[in-house]
């Protein structure tokens, strides 16, 4: 019943206690008891004016901590959406959020370059649908799919160009305007879901001579006490998986068509996402991690 009410509360927006009683066939004291249990486990719910409301998570000791009572977690890993670029693929992004809802995904993680930003490269302006900070911010607030599934994201080098241009982290600004999007920080941040440690990393510099090189070098630089179970990296617009020690590394590609700049640099571009499932043992430890890569071509993608 704990998992059932948790899934219900994640999907409903501020339901009344009476509505929960009716929908889940529960007595009033059972609803109060289950919510007290979830709060005791660390879930951020509260009862205000007869409604159950979700509270935005906060950072503790520099790590976002999300409680977990589930034996099985489903994640969707995406990256480099480059919204407001003329080459963005909002169609794929919409499809993925609908598919994530159909698959009962628990969390969606996005490892940066949410918007295309504004570089110092003169030709980039011709590749943009929106050229101003407010234009790109409002485009992302409007076009980024709205969902009951919480999304956790970091800002990447393209987002951070706005810090250089006008001193603001655009991803933090976007997330502050949306209840379903949570800003973790810029470039590299850790997230704990129960005992599952996840690191989101974006980075800078171009593509390396071998896909695995950048991941291996980065992994070697992480102190052993900080090694995550899942390392999700963005930036190079290519997908790749490897496991080193306990760490499952997911190089997440992009959701943007090849740009004239990438073409001129001889860069590859692959549009894809990782669907990840994690089994949790009775002590809360992640014991098994499985993944599926879904790739996309140049055709428009529609689900419903």
Site residues for Fe ion, window 187-226 (CB under 5 A)?
none
Phi, psi of 289 (to 5 degrees): -125, 125
Site residues for Fe ion, window 24-83 (CB under 5 A)?
80
Q: Which is nearer to Fe ion, 21 or 188 (CB)?
A: 188
CB of 79 to Fe ion, least distance (A): 7
If binding is defined by CB under 5 A, does position 262 make contact with Fe ion?
no
CB of 254 to Fe ion, least distance (A): 6
Site residues for Fe ion, window 73-112 (CB under 5 A)?
80
CB of 42 to Fe ion, least distance (A): 34
CB of 78 to Fe ion, least distance (A): 12
CB of 241 to Fe ion, least distance (A): 19
Q: Which is nearer to Fe ion, 34 or 78 (CB)?
A: 78
Q: Which is nearer to Fe ion, 54 or 202 (CB)?
A: 202
Q: What is the DSSP string of the chain?
A: -HHHHHHHHHHSSS-BHHHHHHHHT--HHHHHHHHHHHHHTT--EEEETTEEEE----EETTEEEE----SEEEEEEE----BTBTTB-HHHHHHHHHHHHHTT-SEEEE-S--B----S-GGGGGGBS--SHHHHHHHHHHHSPP-SS-EEEEE-HHHHHHHHHHS--HHHHHHHT-TTEEEEEESEEEEEETTEEEEEE---S---SSHHHHHHHHHHTS-GGG--SEEEE-SSS--EEEEETTEEEEE--BSBPPPHHHHHHT----EEEEEEEEEE-TTS-EEEEEEEEEEE-SS-----
Q: Which is nearer to Fe ion, 114 or 231 (CB)?
A: 114
Q: Which is nearer to Fe ion, 68 or 272 (CB)?
A: 272
Q: Which is nearer to Fe ion, 113 or 127 (CB)?
A: 113
CB of 104 to Fe ion, least distance (A): 29
Q: Which is nearer to Fe ion, 80 or 189 (CB)?
A: 80
CB of 234 to Fe ion, least distance (A): 6
Choice from 88, 106, 113, 257 touching Fe ion (CB under 5 A): 113
- Sites of contact with Fe ion (CB under 5 A): 80, 113
């Amino acid at each position: 019943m704990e998992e059932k009410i948790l899934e219900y509360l994640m999907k409903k927006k501020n339901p009344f206690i009476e509505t929960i009683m009716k929908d889940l066939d529960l007595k009033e004291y059972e609803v109060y008891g289950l919510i007290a249990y979830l709060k005791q486990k660390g879930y951020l719910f509260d009862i205000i004016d007869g409604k159950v409301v979700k509270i935005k998570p906060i950072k503790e000791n520099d790590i976002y901590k999300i409680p977990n009572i589930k034996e099985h977690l489903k994640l969707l890993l995406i990256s480099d959406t480059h919204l407001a670029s003329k080459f963005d693929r909002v169609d794929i992004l919409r499809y993925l959020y609908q598919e994530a809802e159909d698959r009962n995904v628990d969390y969606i993680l996005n490892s940066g370059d949410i918007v295309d930003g504004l570089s110092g490269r003169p030709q980039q302006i011709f590749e943009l649908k929106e050229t101003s900070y407010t234009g790109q911010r409002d485009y992302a607030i409007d076009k980024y799919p709205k969902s009951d599934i919480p999304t956790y994201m970091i800002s990447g080098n393209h987002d951070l160009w706005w810090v250089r241009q006008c001193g603001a982290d655009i991803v933090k600004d976007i997330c502050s305007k949306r209840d379903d999007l949570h800003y973790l920080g810029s470039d590299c941040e850790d997230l704990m879901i129960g005992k599952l440690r996840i690191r989101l990393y974006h980075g800078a510099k171009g593509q390396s001579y071998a896909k695995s090189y950048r991941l291996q070098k980065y992994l070697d630089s992480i102190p052993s006490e900080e090694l995550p179970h899942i390392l999700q990296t963005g930036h190079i617009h290519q997908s790749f998986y490897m496991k080193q020690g306990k760490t499952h590394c997911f190089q997440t590609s992009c959701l943007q068509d090849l740009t004239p700049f990438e073409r001129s640099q001889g860069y590859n571009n692959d549009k894809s996402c990782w669907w990840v499932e994690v089994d949790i043992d009775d002590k809360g430890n992640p014991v098994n991690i499985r993944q599926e890569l879904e790739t996309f071509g140049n055709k428009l993608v529609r689900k419903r």
